[in-house]
Homo-oligomer: A and B are copies of this chain.
Amino acid sequence: MIGRLNHIAIAVPDLTAAAAKYRDLLGAHVGQPQALPEHGVTVVFIDTGNSKVELLEPLGEASPIAAFLDKNPSGGMHHICFEVPDILVAAARLVEVGARVLGDGTPRIGAHGKPVLFLHPKDFDGTLIELEEV
């Protein structure tokens, strides 16, 4: 079912500083910050050629990564995202086999404008998994 590793997301307390480290220390291909107020984050993408790293900084009062950064003030790996060809087929299959889809179980439009869902980290060894229809 799952296909390519679309991205690994890292929550950071200071996006400008984090992006500078990837660019200046690691010589990575670092994009420009994009504010996504409807998702409560500002993001910077790092293009690794085969995949992406997504740096996430909270934006606004109800950011979905605020609690994570409260627990991990220095930042840390937040989630991994796999591509699926059909998010509704994926959601139905996962519920059928007993995996928990976060929220109301319905895919929503993610930060890249495509349908996504998140799986409960307790079902996958403490790892928050995002599935994105691509």
Chain B residues lying within 8 Å of A13, measured Cβ to Cβ, are 125
Residue in A50, A76, A125, A127 whose Cβ sees the most chain B Cβ within 10 Å: A125
Chain B residue at minimal CB-CB distance from A13: B125
Number of copies: 2
Chain B residues lying within 8 Å of A98, measured Cβ to Cβ, are 25
* Contact of B53 with A50 in the complex, beta carbons under 8 Å: no
Chain B residue at minimal CB-CB distance from A73: B126
Q: Name the interface residues of A116-134: CB closer than 8 Å to any CB of B.
A: 121-127, 129
Which range holds the interface residue count of chain A?
35 or more
Min CB gap A10→B, angstroms: 5
* Contact of A51 with B5 in the complex, beta carbons under 8 Å: yes
A sample of 18 more A-B contacts (CB under 8 A), given A5-B51, A50-B50, is A2-B27, A4-B48, A5-B48, A8-B80, A10-B125, A18-B124, A21-B123, A21-B124, A25-B94, A25-B97, A27-B93, A48-B82, A51-B51, A55-B125, A74-B125, A74-B126, A75-B127, A76-B77
List the 4 closest A-B pairs by CB distance, nearest first: A1-B27, A75-B125, A76-B126, A77-B77
